Amino acid sequence: MNGTIKMVITYSAIFIVLFLLAEYAKKKIQTVEVAKVICAEMCSEGSLLMQGVANTINNRMNVYDKSAYEIVTKKNQYYGYTNKNKNKIFKNIECRKTALYLATNIEQLTDITHGALYFRLDNESVRAWHKELTVKIKNVSFYK
């Protein structure tokens, strides 16, 4: 009986460790995907506007009680998710470094968008969901 208990405890411990490792790997993969979206959306505009995108993701997380991954992968929400060049853009070392920092710390970032859920560049059309302008940073407008 004593050997059986030890075996059950050992297998239980192995199962728990494997489960935790799988959860860690899943979270890491999801964080990288969020970072790729941030890069694809605003890498060319610089780190401040990349933070603005991260803020809109976090603001939606709070409104809809979803993870960052769930927010960016929801259909028709972030162009960066379906951008065919997102992996190529993500190879830019500076952009990748910034985006990974933002995605990893998304819930602790200062909200420079004042609660915005959406953004648009000056050369894009105003849409029905662009209701209340919260702030304009460079050539990007943020809306609630």
What is the tens place of the pLDDT at every residue in 123-143? 999 999 999 999 999 999 999
Q: What is the pLDDT of residues 14-24, one digit of tens each?
A: 777 667 666 76
pTM above 0.75, yes or no: yes
In the predicted model, is pLDDT for residue 26 greater than 90? no
Angle between helices 93-104 and 2-42 (to 10 degrees): 120
Q: Are 121 and 130 in contact (CB under 8 A)?
A: no
